[in-house]
């Protein structure tokens, strides 16, 4: 899903800019075409930068979520290890008390 969103965010402005440029093309002079092209390049560059920042933010949130899940797994594992060690110590104490 994330890759589809990345593709959508990257492709839609390029298509829209091309449509706008082609619709304006017959009515413009060469200087106006040049200025519109420069403006569209600047807007596309800005758009690419914004998309990258959005993707970084999404990746950062995903990484934080994974770290939290790992901490929970480590906590559960430590809890299980303590329970196992408590059971082993109880069994060992029973064995010692049995032979007294």
Query: DSSP secondary-structure letter at 27?
Result: G
Domain that holds residue 70: 2-98
Torsion of CA 50, 52, 55, 57, to 10 degrees: -70
2, pLDDT greater than 70: no
pLDDT tens sequence across 51-80: 888 888 888 888 889 899 999 998 888 888
pTM for the model stands at 0.49
Within a 13 Å sphere around the CA of 48, how many CA atoms are in the beta-carbon half?
7
Q: Give the number of domains in the chain.
A: 1
Give, for 5, the enclosing helix (H) or strand (E): helix 2-24
């Amino acid at each position: 899903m994330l890759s589809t969103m990345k593709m959508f965010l990257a492709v839609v402005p390029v298509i829209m800019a091309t449509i706008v440029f082609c619709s304006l093309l017959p009515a413009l002079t060469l200087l106006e075409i040049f200025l519109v092209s420069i403006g569209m390049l600047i807007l596309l560059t800005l758009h690419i930068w914004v998309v990258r920042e959005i993707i970084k933010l999404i990746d950062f949130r995903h990484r934080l979520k994974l770290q939290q899940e790992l901490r929970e797994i480590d906590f559960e594992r430590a809890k299980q290890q303590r329970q196992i060690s408590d059971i082993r110590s109880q069994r060992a104490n029973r064995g010692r008390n049995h032979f007294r």
